[in-house]
Structure 1
Amino acid sequence: MKKRVTGLGGFFFKTKDPDKIKEWYKNRLGLNTDQYGCTFWWKDQKGNDCSTQWSPMNEDTPYFEPSQKQFMMNFRVENLVELLKELKKEGVTIVGEIEEYEYGKFGWILDPEGNKLELWEPIDKAFLE
């Protein structure tokens, strides 16, 4: 099997007031925020454009369920379908079904402490068009 995780795709966290937090990070730390948070652009070892998303979310978001944690990490992966098959064989809890968008495929798992992790097989060029 190819590499599993190839990088950090994003960090999502709950907050009482996402807009206020985005504004604070914009004004105090210079993050180029938009309605979703901030996208950091970088190049991988092959020189491909890649992105990592930072996103504050409403404290009552159901997106992190079944985890009750205040955050969720998103990992960039290769071949999501095969990776989820392997993880299932290894006893990892899979959450929900794969979802596909123009910017990639998404799947979710739980770590041993109940943290929901988002796995993303990205299509970064969709953000650049």
Structure 2
Amino acid sequence: MPVTGIGGFFFRSRDTKALADWYLTHLGVGAPENVWIWNQQAGPTVFAPFKEDSDYFAADHRWMLNLRVEGLDDLIASLKAAGIEVITKPEWDATPEIGRFARIHDPEGNPIELWEPASPPA
């Protein structure tokens, strides 16, 4: 296959600098010297269209960004300390072989799912 991964994620913003700074500060997405470039760790990426009437994320959004994370509990604590609302639900973690989830919204209301994949068996 000629496609080797996702090369970018582009979306509209009312204040591109402020939003890029928010992602860098709270989620580590980007780099201080160039917020547009983000060198990621290798790992799984889920690419999945959802049914039009899915309730997995808000109906008024056509997409939801899912970020793979390490140390979800520490990240949740950091986000809450910064005044960012974090949503968790037990049913999101009902399949431990997939991992754990939390949800936040960026300052412009864009949905972000935080996914800590399950650790591979030892």
Which residue of 86, 89, 102 corresponds with 2:97? 102
Higher relative contact order (CA 8 A, sep 6+): 1
Q: Please give the secondary structure, in 2, of the residue aligned with 1:82.
A: helix
Which residue pairs with 2:76 in the alignment?
84
Once the two structures are TM-superposed, the CA of residue 78 in structure 1 deviates from its matched residue by 1.0
Whole-angstrom distance in 2 between the partners of 1:121 and 1:60: 26
Which residue pairs with 2:65 in the alignment?
73
* Cα distance per residue 1:58-111 (max 9 Å; x no partner): 11111113x621000100111101101110111112123363221211111111
Which residue pairs with 1:64 in the alignment?
57
Identity of aligned residues (%): 37
**CA 1:64 to 1:91, structure 2 compared with 1: closer, same or farther past 3 Å?**
same
Which residue of 39, 43, 47 corresponds with 1:54? 47
Count of matched residue pairs: 82
Whole-angstrom distance in 2 between the partners of 1:96 and 1:117: 12
**CA 1:123 to 1:96, structure 2 compared with 1: closer, same or farther past 3 Å?**
closer
With structure 2 as the length reference, what TM-score do the two structures score? 0.56
* Cα distance per residue 1:25-53 (max 9 Å; x no partner): xxxxxxxxxxxxxxxxxx73xxxxx2101
Structure number with higher strand proportion: 1
Checking the alignment, whether the CA contact within 8 Å between 1:108 and 1:119 is kept in structure 2 is yes
Whole-angstrom distance in 1 between the partners of 2:112 and 2:45: 15
User: Once superposed, what is the RMSD of the aligned Cα atoms?
Assistant: 2.6
Q: What does 1:1-129 align with in structure 2 at a 5 Å threshold?
A: 4=27, 44=42, 50-65=43-58, 68-97=60-89, 99-100=92-93, 101-123=96-118, 125=120
Q: Please give the secondary structure, in 2, of the residue aligned with 1:88.
A: helix
Checking the alignment, whether the CA contact within 8 Å between 2:105 and 2:111 is kept in structure 1 is yes
Once the two structures are TM-superposed, the CA of residue 115 in structure 1 deviates from its matched residue by 1.4
